[in-house]
């Protein structure tokens, strides 16, 4: 399922109308009918509804909704803001039908009187093309809905008052209980603050032919099994541990051994054949007492139980055994860290995942990533992304999707910007958005688990695009499954424990 910008959606509509010959009136009828159906399914008994309609095509959808609700026996009135002469021909047609049916159509002042007593308010005021601060009287009417409406609020396509492409709120926006959107989700449905206004999201088909989407594919998709499920096919009965890759995890300085252990165990639970935990020499004993499944490799010690910045004497011998490397879980900071990381990335051609202090070492200078020969995956949370780029967390969060894709395209890396709706951006500008979140993952250690899952997928030889999207999906799903009693009480180790169930649910 795709995720569209306003322009991408206009292109799909226009191609459907111009090239396929499907009239815009048919698309508008389909959109309004499906939105009305969502209401009729939710409310089997007739209700009192107020449809707030502008003069654009979003308003045309609203007139269609009003007609279908009235035909189903609902008491319907329409609050119309705008001028009839500015309507598109399609919107004018459906406006006229409503008048012929005798559905009351009134202006702003009369609409405000009905909003507080309606069972359902339909927001069909503004569509995807709105830019800039809202003007009157729309802003006041939106405020009135938010302040006085006691009923259910349906937003048509997007909540009026949000920017489709950035998720910004343009001064005031409808707070919906349900948003019914057409053909594809829009960026504002997954970007804050707009995502907080949409309520439940329902994507409905309005008849845009698959060939049109194939010819004009949007650059972003929602994360779903069809993108990667083929890589979870049953294992061959002839396989062995060497068939499923070997992941090296570098981290686990004193006081942070648990982070490396979590990553290693997550990779094994996901299905990698072998995992080696590379930790400072002094931490080998404590780690051996903590874990049994991963192999352990001691690296030169630095002060206070951390890394020294040197490589072990058997590095060149052992390095070719690994099919992926994860750097950062419990790594810590140390002298010569930048030179150390540069050498590692230069000499390792297999995929590398950088997380936590692996990212912090890069802060302020990502340039040497451009020379790397193998795939690189960065997994920052907003704070880490802000440090990487030398900007504020607020700047990151106000444009998550753009920040992620800018880094991916500029440095030739795959960026996983973690958060409520994780943004995955690839070097070619394509993006995948994970449409779900689990509050259970708001716990120390859950990022280390994700690093292990991603590293494990890459070590198994799954292509980067699939491995990263699959890993984010399983991490989220396992977090949800781990919430048996309460999201407050879930541990990172619980998420690892539920990875098998998460995988099983896909098949």
Give the span between the Cα atoms of 284 and 290, in whole angstroms: 10
Q: How is the chain split among helix, strand and coil, in percent rounded to 5?
A: 45, 15, 35
> Where is the binding site for AMP, in residues?
418-422, 447
Give the span between the Cα atoms of 17 and 14, in whole angstroms: 5
Q: Is the peptide bond before 193 cis (omega within 30 degrees of 0)?
A: yes
> Where is the binding site for K(+), in residues?
58, 123, 160
Classified as helix, coil or strand, 82 is coil
Asked if residues 124 and 52 have their Cβ atoms less than 8 Å apart, the reply is yes
Q: Is the peptide bond before 137 cis (omega within 30 degrees of 0)?
A: yes
Asked if residues 223 and 434 have their Cβ atoms less than 8 Å apart, the reply is yes
> Where is the binding site, in residues?
57-61, 123, 127-133, 157, 160, 259, 330, 381, 418-422, 447-448
Q: What is the chain's Cα-based Rg? A: 26
Asked if residues 422 and 211 have their Cβ atoms less than 8 Å apart, the reply is no
Tokens of 481: 């499954």
> Where is the binding site for (6S)-NADPHX, in residues?
57-61, 127-133, 157, 259, 330, 381, 448
Give the span between the Cα atoms of 427 and 349, in whole angstroms: 17
- For residue 378, which of 434, 427, 443, 322 has the smallest C-alpha distance? 427
Asked if residues 151 and 74 have their Cβ atoms less than 8 Å apart, the reply is no
What secondary structure letter does DSSP report for 183? S
Could you give the angle at the alpha carbon of 221 between the alpha carbons of 220 and 224, nearest 5°?
160
What secondary structure letter does DSSP report for 193? T
């Amino acid at each position: 399922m795709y995720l569209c910008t306003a322009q991408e959606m206009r292109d799909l509509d226009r191609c459907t109308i111009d090239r396929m010959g499907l009239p815009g009136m048919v698309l508008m009828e389909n959109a309004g009918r499906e939105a009305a159906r969502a209401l009729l399914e939710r409310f089997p008994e007739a209700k009192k509804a107020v449809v707030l309609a502008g003069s654009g095509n979003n308003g045309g959808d609203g007139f269609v909704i009003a007609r279908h609700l009235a035909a189903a026996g609902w008491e319907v009135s329409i609050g119309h803001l705008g001028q009839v002469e500015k309507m598109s021909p399609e919107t004018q047609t459906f406006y006229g039908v409503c008048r012929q049916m005798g559905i009351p159509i009134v202006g702003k002042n009369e609409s405000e009187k009905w909003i507080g007593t309606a069972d359902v308010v339909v927001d069909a005021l503004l569509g995807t093309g709105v830019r800039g601060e809202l003007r009157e009287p729309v802003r006041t009417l939106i405020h009135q809905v938010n302040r006085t409406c006691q009923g259910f609020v349906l937003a048509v396509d997007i909540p009026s008052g949000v920017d489709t492409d950035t998720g910004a709120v343009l001064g005031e926006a409808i707070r919906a209980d349900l948003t019914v959107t057409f053909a594809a989700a829009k960026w504002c449905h997954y970007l804050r603050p707009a995502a907080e206004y949409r309520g439940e999201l329902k994507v409905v088909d309005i008849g845009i032919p698959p060939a049109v989407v194939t010819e004009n594919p949007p650059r972003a998709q929602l994360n779903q099994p069809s993108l990667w499920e083929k890589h979870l096919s049953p294992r061959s009965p002839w396989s062995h541990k060497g068939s499923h890759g070997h992941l090296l995890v570098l981290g686990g300085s004193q006081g942070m051994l648990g982070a490396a252990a979590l990553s290693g165990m997550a990779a094994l639970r996901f299905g990698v054949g072998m995992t080696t935990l590379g930790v400072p020499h002094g931490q080998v004993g404590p780690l051996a007492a903590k874990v049994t499944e991963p192999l352990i490799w001691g690296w030169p010690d630095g002060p206070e139980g951390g890394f020294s910045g040197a490589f072990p004497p058997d590095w060149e011998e052992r390095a070719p055994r690994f099919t992926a490397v994860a750097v950062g879980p419990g790594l810590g900071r140390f002298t010569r860290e930048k030179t150390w990381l540069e050498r590692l990335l230069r000499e390792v051609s297999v995929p590398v995942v950088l997380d936590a202090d692996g990212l912090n070492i890069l802060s302020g200078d990502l340039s040497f990533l451009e020379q790397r020969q193998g795939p690189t995956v960065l997994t920052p949370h907003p704070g880490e992304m802000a440090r990487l780029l030398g900007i504020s967390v607020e700047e990151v969060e106000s444009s998550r999707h753009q920040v992620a894709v800018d880094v991916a395209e500029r440095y030739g890396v795959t960026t996983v910007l973690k958060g409520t709706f994780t943004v995955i951006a690839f070097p070619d500008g394509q993006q995948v958005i994970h449409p779900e979140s689990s509050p259970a993952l708001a716990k120390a250690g859950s990022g280390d688990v994700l690093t292990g899952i991603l590293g494990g997928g890459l070590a198994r030889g799954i292509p980067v695009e699939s491995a990263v999207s699959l890993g984010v999906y399983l991490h989220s799903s396992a977090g949800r499954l781990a919430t048996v009693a309460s999201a407050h009480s879930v541990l990172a180790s619980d998420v690892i424990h539920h990875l098998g169930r998460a995988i099983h649910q896909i098949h």
